[in-house]
Amino acid sequence: MKFMKLYPDDQTMKFLKPILFSRRLYSAHKATQKIGEYDVAIIGGGIIGTATARELLSVYPKLKAVLLEKEKELGIHQTANNSGVIHAGIYYTPGSLKAKLCVEGSKLTMKHCDEKKIPYKKVGKLIVATDEEEVKYLKVLYERGLSNGVPGLELIDSQEKIHKIEPECKGLKAIWSPNTGIVDYKNLAISHADDFHTVGGEIRLRAEVATIEESGREDYPVKVVDTHDHVLVAKYVLTCAGLYSDKISMLTGCPRNPRIVPFRGEYLLLKPSKRKMVKCNIYPVPNPKLPFLGVHFTPRMDGNVWLGPNAVLAFKREGYSYFDINFLELIDALTYTGFIALCLKNMKYGVGEMIRSIIWPLQIKQLQKYLPNITSEDCERGPSGVRAQALGPDGKLLEDFYFDKSQKGQLKDRVLHCRNCPSPGATSSMAIAKMLVEKMGKEFGLEKIHAEIKKKLKT
């Protein structure tokens, strides 16, 4: 990685404090430590934040921009802990942002990987119907995929044809998507960040945002302060805060809802000796009565095969196990009317997911619908990820991508928030980035700012 922290971390400052400062002078130093003035500040160093930062300086290379990430490295949460699939765009409602941006994002991602020599594979995807009810909806999915412009789709009408693609798989009919791929999205995020940094963008790690407020200045109206009391001012701010997107939005006066509720997805792994059982992605036909997709089989770039996930409430927004608990965040989720409504509507399903989470061999029955020969001896516990799912107060999951702007005082039309970008957010990230930069160009007047900077540089 070509970039580094641009200010001392807490351990360094603790070492310097008794040498360089009295307690009083050290406190004053912290309170007045200014980072700089920027045309655009981007908050969040995941796949969407890094992709947008790269796109911003690709379109407007003269802007002064900074990317803030609260962790010590980029892309370690949803970006690094998702299935790694480059989705083709089959599942999503025609005309929705998900449908449009997923298809476009898939092409852009693979093109970028080719140009940057980032490893990826087109392993394909089978969406398998295992009973007659699923066959009916499979045909709806096929038409939906065609409407969305997904390339290369094929309707597989027999078990024999399924076996030619995936010998261990059982099903009545299936959709074959040859252009579905896999990639390591953290590698992709780092590539985007490198491009951003190479053309002059600044990246600041360990920069957890505490406040976004009015600066009182006409030239740089937005002030951002992190938890270390480092201060920057900016003309415009974009937030891509993932699991904390609602809370970051609230800092600028946006409404709390739709609220982010964290759902942990726990995967099983095929043991190394059994990995040959799965050659491509094997996905279910979604049950429209249930809130989540269900288990699937996912080959990974590192050679592993992930099985799952289930879906249970995470006890912390970045909680990857039952032992990761933040009581304030847990109470916030449990008392939210939207979560209560979701639980009441899906009580049986939710209890089943929790039981299968604790007693993982019970998940094997679900997997055997597609691979009858798989047993619990073939599997072991695997990694977990946490999905940032925006949930309305009525208990309905926000299905499409959702963006919001601050309407507060001097921040009005100065701050743009990515409020909901779940799967296929990673696949769509480069298309989302293009859309956001176009949106900021029009609504923030970046073209004018960029032209003024170029003119000053010439003179």
| Measured CA distances, 406 to 238, 239, 249, 394, 409 (Å) | 11, 11, 8, 24, 9
- Tell me whether the omega of the peptide bond preceding residue 284 falls within 30 degrees of 0, making it cis: no
Q: CA angle, 111 as apex, 300 and 150 as ends, to 5°?
A: 75
Asked whether the beta carbons of 124 and 177 are under 8 A apart, the reply is yes
The helix/strand/coil state of 67 is: strand
Are the C-beta atoms of residues 204 and 66 closer than 8 Å to each other?
A: yes
3-state class of 9 per DSSP?
coil
In sequence order, the 6+-apart residues with CB closer than 8 A to the CB of 276 are none
CA angle in degrees (0–180, nearest 5) for 352-354-359: 95
The 3-state secondary structure of 214-243 reads: ECCCCCCCEEEEECCCCEEEEEEEEECCHH
The closest of 19, 8, 75 to 48, measured between CA atoms, is 75
8 A C-beta contact, residue 48 and residue 213:
no
Do the beta carbons of residue 225 and residue 404 sit within 8 Å?
A: no
Interior/surface letters 139-171, b for 16+ CB within 10 angstroms, e for the rest: eebbebbeebebeebebbeeeeebeebbebbbb
* Annotation says 77 is catalytic: no
120: Cβ–Cβ under 8 A, 6 or more apart, which residues? 86, 109, 110, 113, 181, 182, 183, 301
Q: How many CA atoms lie within 13 A of 408 on its CB side?
A: 16
Report CA-CA distances (Å) from 263 to 20, 179, 322: 46, 28, 12
* Cis peptide bond upstream of 286, omega within 30: no
Q: Which of 77, 87, 230, 296 is catalytic?
A: 87
* Token digits of residue 273: 């000796």
Distance CA 199, CA 182 (A): 28
Are 175 and 154 spatial neighbours (Cβ–Cβ below 8 Å)? yes
Other CB atoms within 10 Å distance of the CB of residue 445 = 15
Q: What is the dihedral of CA 306, 310, 311, 313, to 10 degrees?
A: -90
Residues marked as catalytic: 87
